[in-house]
């Protein structure tokens, strides 16, 4: 479980996070949602250990501030929003970089994992392509495959590993949005945990176990999508009145922009 | 050979080629890279010995071969004059060429990895200028100002001063060009120009106060040349260069990860700050020591890694050793041209590398303009 307690972050003198607390248990997909500039990415950077913060972040009970970078790398992998590279690496070479961490030494196994990871993000057959020549959505999926390789078996080290995804589906078409969300769910069902920053509320409601709704550097509401996605929360967080509905089965809430009051 | 045996052999040979092609198509260039490194190693040996055998004075190739193959001792095979030419003049030059070429090419490759930009090079961004300044200060002020210090360090004073000069400029450059984890290329190149100009100005002051002998030393040294190669010089530079080259392989994985950005490298378990520190110190050390013994030899650090990336890809695990080999080969080769193109006089080698390297550099710029982010 990832536990963030009372995290505050100042960026160039401005308080960006005001004491954020939440828990992301293993086996669950935790989605962080909220309007632009509410501190989602900063929160992600804090729990990834790359930003200086006040408060405490722990993974499976280990304070991340006390872990070495390579110890941390075995407990969590991170997918950034977009990655630009300056050297002509092939897709295969990028994906294999993720495997250099986990210490999968046996060449056949490394080969198999790299291939499986590319297949999982629907990029089988792309291994010989140059990363720089791919579209934005394809690049994002390559990076996801790379991150997956880093913690391929979510329980390999005897404790659950976590995927931290910063807008994993933002530049994907609808089919691949579903592919990636299912992949994240599958990672959870195999014992790992996922924390994802999301913008698409409906996709989030479909796949997330837990929603952390942020506004202005604070957690506004947290809980199951059904509890968090209410008319009141929508209006107070996004500042635009919308009607939340539920699917015919009555379990998954959804919201259409059409319902926004003029 | 029986035809069927030949067919089998052909088949095996083809299967290696086919396998290599297949893995290349699947985005795996490691096999090609290993082959390239092997060929470069052979080529380095060949170049090294042909350099010993060529020159204005002809030491007989046959005699040399007899000594090399061990049929005769050096005393039997070679005349005293040839022995001096080979052991005291050409051999140190070839060794120095190998060392300096490797140091410059590897420094270029590491710096490009560190700045995540194929245009970074110790020569271009002012590190060499800083190292030069350190060396010039020692040459001109050496005995007068730093007399006791100079004496204490002996041969090492020059390389150490150049190393410190290179280190200071690299740190300065990195501090200026990198803000909140992002290295700006434009800032880096411009800051490099400014730092080089400043170092040049101070060097100018030193030249102004230098006496005639020092002036001559400075001029020839500044153009870049292996002409002054001697065993004591090698003894002074080799430990520094070899030590920094020995550290560099440990940076390879980290530099690969750094391609994806500092944050991503950290996510993948790379201790980024330590990687940067080690990389900066080894680049400064290798460049400083090279500049101290051979002056300003440009463009090796940018051309060599670039050519290799086209062939074996940017994986630093292969790029770094291949750069060391190709850098050494190129420099020995350039030195052979320098020694033989206008006999019995010698062209400074820096002129040759600049003649070949500058147009190549322009070609890289034109070719890669679209996706270099300039």
Q: State how far residue A135 is from chain B, nearest Cα, in angstroms.
A: 14
Ranges under pLDDT 50 in chain A? none
B310 or A181, which is more confident? A181
Average the pLDDT over each of A61-65, B104-108, B355-359 and give the range with the smallest value. B355-359
CATH of B30-59+71-368, one of 1.10.3470.10, 3.40.50.300, 3.40.109.10, 3.40.50.720: 1.10.3470.10
Predicted ipTM?
0.92
Contact B313 A93 (CB under 8 A): yes
Matching residue, tokens 């500049």: B291
- CA distance, residue A178 to nearest chain B CA (Å): 25
If 0-12 CB within 10 Å is exposed, 13-18 middle and 19+ buried, where does residue A175 land? exposed
Q: Which of residues 142-181 of A touch B (CB under 8 A)?
A: 143, 146-147, 150
Mean of pLDDT values over B10-26: 70
Q: What is the mean pLDDT of chain B?
A: 81
Write out the residues of chain B at the interface with chain A, using a CB-CB cutoff of 8 A: 24-29, 116-118, 253, 256-257, 259-261, 263-264, 266-272, 309, 313-315, 371-373
Q: Which residues pair with A165 in a beta bridge?
A: A79, A196
Binary contact (A78, B309; C-beta < 8 A) = no
Please name the residue that has the structure tokens 């930003």.
A51
Q: For residue B341, what is the DSSP state?
A: S
- For residues B283 and B164, give the distance between their C-alpha atoms in angstroms, rounded to a whole number: 11
pLDDT at residue B372 tops 70: no
B149 has pLDDT over 80: no
Q: Which of residues 36-65 of A touch B (CB under 8 A)?
A: 45, 48-50
Q: Please tell me whether the overall predicted TM-score, pTM, comes out greater than 0.80 for this model.
A: yes
pLDDT digits (tens, 9 = 90+) for A127-159: 999 999 999 999 999 999 999 999 998 888 789
pLDDT for residue B154 is more than 70: no
Q: With beta carbons less than 8 A apart as the criterion, state whether A231 and A242 touch.
A: yes
- DSSP characters over B194-263: HHHHHHHHHHHHHHHH--HHHHHHHHHHHH--STT--HHHHHHHHHHHHHHHHHGGGGHHHHHHHTT-HH
Contact A83 B27 (CB under 8 A): no
Q: Pairing between strand A29-33 and A193-197?
A: parallel
Task: Residue B271: list chain A partners with CB under 8 A.
Answer: 68-70
In this complex, do B269 and A48 lie within 8 Å of one another by their Cβ atoms? no
- Comparing B207 with A225, the larger pLDDT belongs to A225
Residue A130: DSSP 8-state: B
Q: CA A96, CA A110: separation in Å to the nearest integer? A: 8
CB contact under 8 A, A90 and B29: yes
Q: B137-142, long-range: CB within 8 Å, 24+ apart, which pairs?
A: B137/B161, B137/B165, B137/B206, B138/B162, B139/B206, B139/B210, B139/B214, B139/B217, B139/B218, B139/B221, B140/B206, B140/B207, B140/B209, B140/B210, B140/B214, B140/B218, B141/B206
Taking 80 as the threshold, does the pLDDT of residue B75 lie above it? no
Least confident interval from A123-132, B264-273, B275-284: B275-284
Specify the DSSP element, H or E, that contains A109. Answer: helix A107-120
Task: Indicate the domain borders of chain B.
Answer: 30-59+71-368
| Confidence at residue B150, expressed as pLDDT on a 0 to 100 scale | 58
Percent of chain B with pLDDT over 90: 24
Task: Give the three-class secondary structure for B1.
Answer: coil
The mean per-residue pLDDT over the stretch B79-85 comes to 76
The predicted model gives B144-166 an average pLDDT of: 68
Residue corresponding to tokens 């101070």: B202
| pLDDT of B341 above 90 | no
Tell me the sheet residues that pair with A222: A212
- The answer to whether A31 touches A196, Cβ cutoff 8 Å, is yes
């Amino acid at each position: 479980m990832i536990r963030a307690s009372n995290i505050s972050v100042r960026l160039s003198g401005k308080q960006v996070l005001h004491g954020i607390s939440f828990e992301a248990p293993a086996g669950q997909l935790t989605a962080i949602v909220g309007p632009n500039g509410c501190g989602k990415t900063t929160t992600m950077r804090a729990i990834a250990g790359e930003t200086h913060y006040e408060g405490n972040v722990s993974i499976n009970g280990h304070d991340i501030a006390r872990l070495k970078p390579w110890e941390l790398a075995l407990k969590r992998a991170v997918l950034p929003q977009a990655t630009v590279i300056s050297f002509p690496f092939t897709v295969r070479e990028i994906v294999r970089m993720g495997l250099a961490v986990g210490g999968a030494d046996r060449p056949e196994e490394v080969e198999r994992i790299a291939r499986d990871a590319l297949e999982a993000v629907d990029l089988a057959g792309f291994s010989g392509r140059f990363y720089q020549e791919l579209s934005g959505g394809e690049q994002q999926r390559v990076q996801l495959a790379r991150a997956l390789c880093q913690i391929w078996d979510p329980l390999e080290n005897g404790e659950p590993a976590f995927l931290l995804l910063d807008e994993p589906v933002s530049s994907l078409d609808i089919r691949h949005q579903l592919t990636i969300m299912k992949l994240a769910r599958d990672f959870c069902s195999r014992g790992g945990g996922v924390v994802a920053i999301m913008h698409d509320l409906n996709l989030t409601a479909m796949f997330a176990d837990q929603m952390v709704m942020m506004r202005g550097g604070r957690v506004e509401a947290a809980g199951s999508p059904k509890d968090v996605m209410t008319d009141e929360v929508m209006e107070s967080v996004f500042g635009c009145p919308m009607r939340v509905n539920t699917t015919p089965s009555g379990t998954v809430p959804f919201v259409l922009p059409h319902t926004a009051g003029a | 050979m029986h035809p069927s045996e030949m067919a089998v052999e052909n088949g095996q040979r083809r299967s290696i080629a086919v396998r290599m092609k297949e893995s290349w198509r699947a985005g795996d260039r490691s096999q090609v890279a290993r082959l390239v490194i092997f060929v470069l190693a052979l080529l380095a040996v060949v170049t090294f010995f042909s350099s010993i055998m060529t020159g204005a004075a002809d030491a007989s190739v046959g005699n040399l071969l007899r000594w090399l193959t061990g049929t005769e001792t050096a005393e039997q095979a070679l005349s005293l004059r040839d022995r001096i030419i080979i052991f005291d003049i050409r051999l140190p030059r070839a060794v120095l060429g190998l060392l300096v070429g490797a140091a410059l090419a590897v420094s270029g490759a590491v710096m490009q990895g560190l700045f995540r930009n194929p245009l970074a090079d110790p020569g271009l961004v002012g590190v060499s200028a800083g190292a030069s300044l350190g060396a010039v200060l020692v040459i001109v002020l050496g005995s007068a100002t730093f007399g006791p210090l100079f004496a204490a360090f002996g041969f090492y004073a020059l390389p150490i001063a150049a190393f410190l000069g290179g280190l200071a400029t690299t740190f300065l450059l990195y501090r200026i060009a990198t803000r909140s984890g992002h290295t700006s290329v434009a800032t880096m190149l411009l800051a490099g120009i400014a730092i080089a100009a400043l170092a040049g100005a101070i060097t100018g002051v030193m030249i102004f106060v230098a006496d005639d002998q020092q002036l001559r030393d400075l001029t020839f040294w500044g153009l870049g040349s292996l002409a002054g190669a001697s065993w004591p010089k090698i003894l002074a530079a080799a430990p520094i260069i070899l030590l920094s080259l020995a550290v560099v392989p440990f940076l390879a994985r980290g530099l690969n990860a750094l391609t994806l950005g500092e944050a991503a490298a950290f996510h993948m378990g790379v201790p980024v700050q330590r990687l940067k520190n080690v990389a900066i110190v080894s680049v400064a050390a290798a460049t400083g020591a090279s500049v101290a013994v051979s002056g300003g030899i440009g463009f090796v650090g940018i051309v060599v890694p670039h050519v290799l990336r086209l062939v074996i890809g940017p994986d630093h695990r292969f790029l770094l050793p291949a750069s060391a080999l190709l850098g050494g080969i190129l420099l020995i080769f350039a030195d052979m041209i320098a020694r033989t193109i206008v006999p019995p006089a010698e062209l400074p080698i820096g002129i040759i590398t600049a003649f070949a390297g500058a147009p190549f550099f322009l070609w890289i710029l034109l070719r890669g303009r679209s996706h270099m982010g300039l």
